[in-house]
Amino acid sequence: MKIAVCDDDPNAMEVFSRYAAAIIEYAFAYEFFQDPEEMLTSYSQQEQEPDLYILDIEMPGMDGIAVAQEIRKRNSKALIVFLTSYTKYMPDVFAVVTFDFIEKPITIDRLRLLLEKAENYLGMTNQNFSFGYGKSRYSLRFDEILYFEKKGRQALIHTIDTIYKTNMTTKEIWECLDERMFVAIHGSFIVNLKHVKTASGGVVRMSNGQELAVTRGCRKSLAEKHMAFVQGGM
């Protein structure tokens, strides 16, 4: 796991480095930046961006929320965590699809919990769904899939960019999925919780703006799984 930390507090680097050295349960590499613009420039020139960004909100010049907005323009998959001493920023924080929010000062136990949560989440979303249709074979990352729609003997796989077809049964599809990340909302629909923006009133709104109906019998399961997923797929 690759981590970028951006905090203008010079003491923060020392504290984070000390904590990172003490946490041996997780494999990760990190870079520390005091200047947010330097961090953005550095990663714009690299092929592989961090999996996880830890950003202080209150920084001179460009604050953490503005930094996160720039990250989101080029990377929709990176996990973003905010550090702050003030909860007044909560509404702005969650407007940029935030993985976590940590009140300062961060403790070693809180950092350890964050790493565990991020590792579980990345391990879950980086899995692949493999299928065939006709003479063609495909493999999609879980996080590329919006939802499955069963139509007769066929299943349509709706992704961010296109729609695929397969003759797999619903049972065969479920055997290839991680149930922490997907949930049935209807006899014909299985949605990816990563792409569920809101779920209320018998309707889910997906990340592409599409709305899908949720049958009454699926609402409790959807609510429980969605909450668990938002908390890190734990």
pTM score, two decimals? 0.75
Task: Tell me the per-residue pLDDT of 77-112, one tens digit each, with 9 for 90 and over.
Answer: 789 999 887 655 555 555 566 788 888 889 999 999
Task: Tell me the per-residue pLDDT of 103-158, one tens digit each, with 9 for 90 and over.
Answer: 888 999 999 999 999 998 888 888 999 999 999 999 999 989 999 999 999 999 99
Going by their DSSP bridges, the two strands 52-56 and 79-84 should be labelled as parallel
DSSP code for 152: T
Q: How far is CA 172 from the centre of its chain?
A: 26
- Tell me the residue range of the domain where 149 lies: 129-230
- Residue 139's Cβ-count burial label (10 Å; 0-12, 13-18, 19+) is exposed
CATH of the domain at 163: 2.40.50.1020
End position of a domain, from candidates 81, 101, 125: 125
Residues 68 and 142 in one domain: no
Residues 162 and 174 in one domain: yes
Residues 45 and 155 in one domain: no
Q: What are the strands, taking DSSP E only, across 95-186? A: 100-103, 128-133, 136-141, 145-151, 154-159, 163-166, 182-186
Residues 40 and 119 in one domain: yes
Average pLDDT, the chain: 89
Task: Tell me the per-residue pLDDT of 189-210, one tens digit each, with 9 for 90 and over.
Answer: 999 998 998 888 899 999 899 9
End position of a domain, from candidates 74, 99, 125: 125
CATH of the domain at 76: 3.40.50.2300
End position of a domain, from candidates 108, 125, 142: 125
How many structural domains does the chain have?
Answer: 2
Bond prior to 91 in cis (omega within 30° of 0):
no
Residues 120 and 135 in one domain: no
